[in-house]
Structure 1
Amino acid sequence: MRYIPITEEQKKEMLKEIGASSFEDLIESVPQNLRLKDKLNIPEAMSESELEDNIFHIAKKNADFYSMKPLIGAGAYRHFIPEAEKFLLQREEFWTCYTPYQPELSQGTLQSIFEYQSYISRLTKMEVVIPSIYDGASATAEAALMSLRLSHKNKIIVSNLLHPHYRETVKTYLAPHETEIIDLPYKNGLVDMEKLKILIGEDVASVIIQSPNFFGGLENVVKISEIVHSKSVLLINVIVESMSLGILKAPGELGADIVAGNA
């Protein structure tokens, strides 16, 4: 966290802006019996080196990626991140996900986005890549909305093995559309194919699965694709761990119509 100082002059300016003459005036509506009268029971301030050493010793109590091999899925995977990447991401061109609108000022940024799109296209075997999405959860929700627009239907089947955060985001995005969301159960850590055959119908816009799924299992995307496409339904394949695309067969080759996720 960056240290952002505040001077007495800045405090006065802020109080003036919100119409308060003092801090007491600002908290006037807070009853006296709810205000803290004594000092907080916290230790004295540490120096920077003492604080860093203290946090380091507390952090050592955690079970991290260096002390264990996590195979739990759930989107928690160890990655090597080059030191240069941290400084590149601090550049203002990459602070937001918005596509630059002034090409004459953004040639470098546009070039980097094009290279990113090209690599993702090669990894997923999808013809079109849209990079300007907030995160994997938002991308999944946008994919769901896309399937509604393409199919003119308002029912979606969502695998229970989709990351819970993604599921909640999809529900939030689809709530204004009054979309019926059907839960797809799992069996032995993978999508229950027989349940899918029962739930699928031509009134369904799309089926959303995740592979590797929340448990870290690899779904039989080809088989799922056959079931889904037999009813003229779109298949959305979510990739939470994009590094898996360097090993696994591309979702576009497995029958996915739309691919969403983090990268």
Structure 2
Amino acid sequence: MRYLPLTDSDRGDMLATIGVSDIDDLFVDVPAEARLSGPIEGLPTHASEMAVEKHMRRLSKKNLAAADAAFFCGAGAYRHHVPATVDHIIQRGEFLTAYTPYQPEIAQGTLQMLFEFQSQVAKLYGCAVANASMYDGSTACWEAVAMAGRVTKKKRVVLSGALHPHYAEVVKTMAKFTEDEIAGGLPSMQGSPDDAGLIERIDENTSCVVVQYPDILGRISDLTEIADAAHKKGALLIVVNTEPVALGAIKAPGEMGADIVVGEGQSIGVGLQFGGPYLGLFAVRDPKHVRQMPGRLCGETVDAEGKRGFVLTLSTREQHIRREKATSNICTNSGLCALAFSVHMTLLGEKGLRTLAAENHRLACLAADKLDAIPGVRVLNDAFFNEFTVVLERDARELVRDLAEDDILAGVSLGRLFPHEEALSGGLLVAVTETASEEDIDALCSAISENMA
């Protein structure tokens, strides 16, 4: 029996109250080509459970899993080895509980974990305070932009052209509702980021400057000059990091003057998982900005008996206070992914993280040297961590498809990330982590060499 709690009259009253004539009016912001006008062609209206399971198994066999290929994809989602201990611990009953502890002080284990997680993120980012996680890296980026607007009372946002285009699109989408002016750009195909060009775009009306570190092409530069230039104009510097393992080898953004540091935590403790769920990280360098942060903040205290305890210190989200006073309404606490991150980080420790980062860099350097020696292939970067861009004398999208036929996932083509920019079509973003063996690197280089001939 179907459950239909609302009558046509009920629906009509609701639509009239919010001022629209038809339910389709609620979806006008969704592009027409993304909306269905009827049932999906070729899809049966019903099938038995067994038939659906059989069909889905057949479809799953078409996938090429990362573990079954020579894997060099990155661009914001990285394959790292996650110890079996992580999965074991996050499934323990103490942690595998309700989605959100609405009586948080009862869940002392969860609060302690989040407190430790915050401490780890703050140290990793070189900041004073981190929150208890967010939905993912791209929405954390937007939340940082919104926070900068609240702090500076300005509306112009300068995005580096080397910011991940998906992150830039999220910022542009959300800015439609806040009337922020977004000044974006495209990455320059040169060995180092165009920091001087970015600095020239900062003016007195700028609320924040958003840069990625390492950037979308894998390049690394000192952010100090950008931070100084932003601060002279009364703007904040927001730094996006999509590969936290890199911070085991390169300088923390907060140490170079970044005011807000955000990013994606998936690399540590969280598998690729077909694109999610992932983990947004968010931290601020100056404690005075704490009350403008989105999301939750867990704190340490003592109870009535003087024993150590943990509390939900701040929770400036729309579910907990008046909506108009909330700093965010999409500041989801990705609790389980945050737990996985914290467990993996604890297992590594500082020494382990630095060792892991060193191995990533060693393998990436090995791959870059071998690729650069192939005729028709040139490594773009002056500096990189475990990800770099190669420039090919052919469309990188075609090369990626050709190599996938031989179970080699060669990387992410810039043509896929920037589909309307022909000048970038020869760029291939190659990520090399500790999961890539030297044999995998040789297979990649051999396959590219053959396909470039």
Q: TM-score range by the shorter chain?
A: 0.7 to 0.9
Aligned to 1:172: 173
Report the 3-state secondary structure (helix = DSSP H, G, I; strand = E; otherwise coil) of the residue aligned with 2:176.
Answer: helix
- Tell me which amino acid in the other structure corresponds to 1:135: D
Contact 1:103 1:110 in 2 (8 A): yes
Name the residue aligned to 2:62: 58
Aligned length: 229
Deviations 1:175-225 (A, max 9, x none): 222111001443235532232232111210100011112222223322322
Question: Which structure ranks higher in relative contact order (CA pairs < 8 Å, sequence separation ≥ 6)?
Answer: 2
Q: CA deviation at 1:128?
A: 1.0
What is the aligned partner in structure 2 of residue 141 from structure 1? 142
Q: TM-score, normalised by structure 2?
A: 0.44
Between the aligned partners of 1:39 and 1:123, the Cα distance in structure 2 is 48
Instruction: Give the aligned partner of residue 217 of structure 1.
Output: 219
> Residue 25 of structure 1 corresponds to which residue in structure 2?
none
Which residue does the alignment assign to 1:3?
none
Which residue is equivalent to 1:254? 256
**Per-residue deviation, 1:121:** 1.0
Residue range with higher mean Cα deviation, 249-258 or 81-90: 81-90
1:151 aligns with 2:155: no
The question of 1:106 aligning with 2:107 is answered yes
Deviations 1:31-75 (A, max 9, x none): xxx999x996xxx96798x8898567533xx373653251x6411
Larger Rg computed on CA atoms:
1
2:163 is matched with: 162
Residues 177-192 of structure 1: matches in 2 within 5 Å? Answer: 177-189=178-190, 190-192=192-194
**How high is the TM-score relative to the length of structure 1?**
0.72
Deviation at 1:143, TM superposition (A): 0.5
SS of 2:171's equivalent?
A: helix
2:97 is equivalent to residue 92 of structure 1: yes
Gaps of 5+ in 2: 8-37, 266-453
Distance 1:35 1:153, change over 3 A: closer
Structure 1 alignment gaps of length 5 or more: 1-11, 20-33
Question: Secondary structure, in 3 states, of the residue corresponding to 2:184?
Answer: strand
The aligned residue for residue 128 of structure 2 is 127
The equivalent of 1:227 in structure 2 is 229
Q: C-alpha separation between the residues in 2 aligned to 1:143 and 1:208?
A: 9
- Residue identity matched to 1:76: A
Identical amino acids, percent of aligned pairs: 35
User: 1-side partners of 2:206 and 2:52: how far apart?
Assistant: 61
| 1:155–1:180 CA contact under 8 A, matched in 2 | yes
Structure 2 CA distance for partners of 1:137 and 1:35, relative to 1, 3 Å: closer
**Contact 2:122/2:128 (8 A) holds in 1:** yes
Name the amino acid aligned to 2:62: I
- Quick one: distance in 1 between partners of 2:147 and 2:195? 24
Superposed displacement of residue 249, structure 1: 1.1
**8 Å CA contact retained: 1:154, 1:179:** yes
Per-residue Cα deviation, 1:56-110 (whole angstroms, up to 9, x for no partner)? 7533xx373653251x6411321122334446268234x45xxx44244210100
Following TM superposition, by how much is the alpha carbon of 1:174 offset from its aligned partner in structure 2, in angstroms?
Answer: 2.1
Deviation at 1:151, TM superposition (A): 0.6
| AA of the residue aligned to 2:160 | S
Q: The residue matched to 2:77 in structure 1 has which SS? A: coil
